[in-house]
Amino acid sequence: MASQLETKWLLLLDMKRKWVLMPIYGVIVLLIPISFACKPLTPDTNDDKQVNTLTNVAIYEQNNGRQPVQAKLFAKIALGYELIGQEHKASKLLIPAIQTSEKNQSLYIKSGLLEELGIIYIKMGEYDKALQTAKSLQIYESSEKNIPLKRIAVKMAEAVQYNKALTIASLVSVNGVSSSYEPIVVSRSTTEANIAIFYARAGQKQKAAQVLAQAFEKADSKAEKAFIAVSYAQVGQKAKALQILSDASQNALTTHDKTAIAVSYAQLGEKAIAEKLLAEAFEQLNQQKKRDDYSLANIAISYASIGKFGQAFATAKLIKNYASPEDYKNALYVTPDGLISGAMSTDVFAEIAKKSAAEGKFEQALEIAKYIKWTGNKAEAISKIAVEYAKVGKYEQAFNIIKDLTENGGIHRDEALSKIAVQHGIKRQYKEAFQLIQKVRSENYKTEALSRIVEQARLKEPANVAIQVLSQAMETAQTLNRHEKVDALTMLAINYIKLGQKDKAETLLAQSLRIAENINQ
């Protein structure tokens, strides 16, 4: 019988991709009442054309919910206005997001805006409103609410609002939900375990242990218990963590249970026990009449997770249906060197290669990457290896391996370049960072890189140096398309506020608002 975690994934066996994991990710409906006054906003300056009265009414008073991009941009700008003390304008700017989350027909859009609103309320210090946002989700299924609730709860804990964070965690279903965007199954128990870590960091280790004990009682799978065990070690109770893993391993029936426990053992420094459990899982799989490719891939990736890359590589090569004749037959095209167009959500060789590179085993990672048979997965793996090269200062090697990446218009090349630029920023090599950003063609990746470099400078540099970095970032931000420009200028405004440059921030927020109001014209 499959474990609780396994049952939360759909295994697609008949759509060109073998053992492709697709998360069951739900969405949310907003139930927060609108209580804000609806009065059109008037930009302070006229660098861009101002919207007319009818457009203002449509945006702020009678929003039809069909412009979610604009609504999300307004919500981000609202945070900036809140931070400079213009609460009334901030409240009005949140109205389109609230109305869109009520009226839009897409559940995906509703959930995205709801999560954005909850987190923005927390950043504004409006903790009760964030809590109310979370409480409105409790009537929905676990697949629809767990992940957004978990993210809001963690942000609440980061804001030192522990009781409210635990209240939100109590709304998460006991049954776990898995997603490729989350490292573990998201359930009530794992969400509470996340919050316990914040208690421990604040010096409240007794409370952390109490929360973990409550979380453990709710754990619905061996994978959840293994995660909680690691959390116990993080709050200083390694003996308790090892006891939990020992008890769990004695009752582990499935290969997935054993791999989850093995990885947790390795995280606690017990790699010999971890390797033994993975060997048992492999032997259990071999005794089955028909060996399951998904389970084999899981064991291979788990070997890589504990640093046993040779075993990981050897196990992965045993998968029979990886890049099968049917995959080649159904491919849109096959490259001259035998790669299939497209990508799998989880490619076993790509995962092993990325983990190998993260441990500094670059030649091994590149060798493993040769076995990847999908163009997108190979490009992603190569870009990750390049970033790991950059982290240790091997920029020439990084650039050499990404220069020919052209998959999806070179998107993975752009991703690598943007992240290498961030590495330059971390090393305070700002000239090199901004020069590299200019080579990035994807404006989304440009914006992400600018945000991380600016944040790094603000936190680590003296104010005068940080302001110089923000000024350099501004030059690039002004060249972006309208959507990315609003994101970048708003991000810069918020960082200027935190550096005490309120006037500069207000100018940028006004520009962002003018662009956002006209973005659909």
Is the pLDDT at 103 greater than 90, yes or no?
Answer: no
- Over range 478-500, report the average pLDDT: 97
Q: What is the DSSP string of 390-406?
A: HHTT-HHHHHHHHTT--
Beta carbons of 469 and 455 less than 8 angstroms apart = no
* CB-based contacts of 194, cutoff 8 Å, min separation 6: 150, 153, 154, 157, 231
Place of tokens 């005068």: 464
Q: What is the dihedral of CA 97, 453, 450, 66, to 10 degrees?
A: -10
Check residue 392 and give its pLDDT: 97
Is the pLDDT at 48 greater than 70, yes or no?
Answer: no
Residue 53's pLDDT band, with cuts at 50, 70 and 90, is low
- Over range 505-514, report the average pLDDT: 97
| DSSP letter, residue 334 | B
Residue 34's pLDDT band, with cuts at 50, 70 and 90, is very low
In 271-348 the beta strands, taken as DSSP E runs, fall at: none
Please tell me the least confidently modeled range out of 177-191, 300-314, 430-444, 452-466.
Answer: 177-191
Give me the residues paired with residue 177 across strands.
186
- Over range 426-439, report the average pLDDT: 97
Check residue 112 and give its pLDDT: 81
Looking at the chain, the whole-number percentage of residues with pLDDT higher than 90 is 72
pLDDT digits (tens, 9 = 90+) for 176-186: 887 666 667 89
Rg, the chain, Cα only: 25
Q: What is the DSSP string of 132-183?
A: HHHHTTTTS-HHHHHHHHHHHHHHHHHTT-HHHHHHHHTTS-SS-B--TTSS
Is the pLDDT at 239 greater than 70, yes or no?
Answer: yes
Check residue 7 and give its pLDDT: 29
Is the pLDDT at 367 greater than 80, yes or no?
Answer: yes
Pairwise CA distance, residues 465 & 92, whole Å: 35
Residue 54's pLDDT band, with cuts at 50, 70 and 90, is low
pTM: 0.84
User: Which residue intervals of 251-292 are DSSP H helices?
Assistant: 255-267, 271-286
Is the pLDDT at 22 greater than 70, yes or no?
Answer: no
Q: Which is more confidently placed, 58 or 400?
A: 400
DSSP, collapsed to helix, strand or coil, labels residue 14 as coil
Phi and psi (nearest 5°) for 334?
-125, 130
Beta carbons of 421 and 437 less than 8 angstroms apart = yes
Pairwise CA distance, residues 483 & 277, whole Å: 50
Please tell me the least confidently modeled range out of 139-148, 184-193, 225-234, 474-483.
Answer: 139-148
